[in-house]
């Protein structure tokens, strides 16, 4: 995991941010507070967050999904990009980290857009499907436990409308996926997931080398 785009020289990365990043102050504050957390490296890169917000606006999204909230940076930037009537269903199990997220959602005035479910994400996703919400979401972001990526993806694909987009984080896994000597379970799971998406004819696919690798899939 990385809080900046992989493989860029520091001076080039600093230049990229200097000419492209338009980060509202509240997002900067949240990113800086998150960096002080023991697991702060789980924070997405700010340029990735801005890219996701652009995707949401390009889609004209009104209903979005997030699997894995952490301290709320990605959900906050998506909520800010949504229209006034927009909704984000957020899934996480950690009360401590999501308490930070809630504080910033409230401070930004977008907490009314975000419906946080503190429960195992698969339970929440299955409940949404049972409630008849299949094919009603415009955008989804998956950034939770890697062992369940395939399960999160399959549920999200059912929940997303045709033409909707799913973004999946950490698919380059700090470069570990390209090292055949690394054979731990999470790395192998991500490799298998990446290969599955390559073969999946239900979607249009692009892997973007931003942050720690962001795969975009458009549901056909």
**CA dist., res. 59 & res. 139, Å (int):** 8
CB 128 within 8 A of CB 114: no
What's the mean per-residue pLDDT of the chain?
A: 96
CB 68 within 8 A of CB 131: no
**CA dist., res. 79 & res. 49, Å (int):** 11
Model confidence over 175-217: pLDDT tens digits?
999 999 999 999 999 999 999 999 999 999 999 999 999 999 9
CB 84 within 8 A of CB 110: no
Model confidence over 24-42: pLDDT tens digits?
999 999 999 999 988 888 8
CB atoms within 10 A of CB 181: 5
Residue 165 pLDDT > 90: yes
Q: pLDDT category, 1, cuts 50, 70, 90? A: low
**CA dist., res. 91 & res. 70, Å (int):** 10
Model confidence over 107-120: pLDDT tens digits?
999 999 999 999 99
Model confidence over 131-142: pLDDT tens digits?
999 999 999 999
**CA dist., res. 13 & res. 62, Å (int):** 32
């Amino acid at each position: 995991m990385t809080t900046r785009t992989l493989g860029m020289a520091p001076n080039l990365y600093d230049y990229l941010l200097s000419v492209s990043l338009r980060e509202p102050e509240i997002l900067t504050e949240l990113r800086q507070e998150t960096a002080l957390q023991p697991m702060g490296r789980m924070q997405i890169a700010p340029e990735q967050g801005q890219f996701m917000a652009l995707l949401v606006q390009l889609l004209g999204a009104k209903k979005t999904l997030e699997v894995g909230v952490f301290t709320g940076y990605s959900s906050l930037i998506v909520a800010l990009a949504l229209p006034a009537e927009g909704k984000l269903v957020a899934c996480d199990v950690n009360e401590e980290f999501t308490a930070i997220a809630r504080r910033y959602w409230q401070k930004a005035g977008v907490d009314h857009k975000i419906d946080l479910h503190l429960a195992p994400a698969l339970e929440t996703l299955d409940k949404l499907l049972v409630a008849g919400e299949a094919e009603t979401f415009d955008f989804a972001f998956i950034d939770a436990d890697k062992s369940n990526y395939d399960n999160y993806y399959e549920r999200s694909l059912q929940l997303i409308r045709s033409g909707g987009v799913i973004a999946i984080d950490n698919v380059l896994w700090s470069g570990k996926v390209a090292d055949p000597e690394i054979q731990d379970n999470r790395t192998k799971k991500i490799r298998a997931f990446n290969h599955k998406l390559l073969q999946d004819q239900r979607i249009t696919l692009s892997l973007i080398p931003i942050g720690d690798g962001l795969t975009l899939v458009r549901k056909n």
